[in-house]
Amino acid sequence: MSDHNLNSKNLTATGTVVAGPTRIRSIYCGATAGTVELKDGGTGGTSKFKLAMAAGQTCDLPGSIYFGTDCHATLTTANSVTFVF
């Protein structure tokens, strides 16, 4: 897997990370701990990943998580989460 052409997006509330097919490679939780749930297909889509994160925690995935439609993140309590894709 190549590490070039990476992008990132920060969300401060529940929303779309990427509108289209993508692979999430890393997740960083800011100053407030919380739960991050990633879905393929919007708010009602298939849940592909859910993690309770501590404040300041980085989750570097050993590979990547593929989202064929889009990547939607539901943030519970966490108010600043950065995704690398």
Residue 73 structure tokens: 């993140």
Measured between alpha carbons, how far is 55 from 57 in angstroms, rounded to an integer? 6
What's the pLDDT score for residue 33? Answer: 97
Q: With a cut of 80, say whether residue 3 has pLDDT above it.
A: no
Measured between alpha carbons, how far is 15 from 34 in angstroms, rounded to an integer? 15
User: How confident is the model over 28-74, as pLDDT tens digits?
Assistant: 999 999 999 999 999 999 999 999 999 999 999 999 999 999 999 99
Domain range summary for the chain, segments of one domain joined by +: 12-84
What's the pLDDT score for residue 19? Answer: 98
Q: Please report the DSSP string for 21-57 in residue order.
A: SEEEEEEEE-SS-EEEEEEESSTTSEEEEEEEE-TT-
User: How confident is the model over 9-29, as pLDDT tens digits?
Assistant: 999 999 999 999 999 999 999
User: Contact at 8 Å (CB) between 22 and 41?
Assistant: no
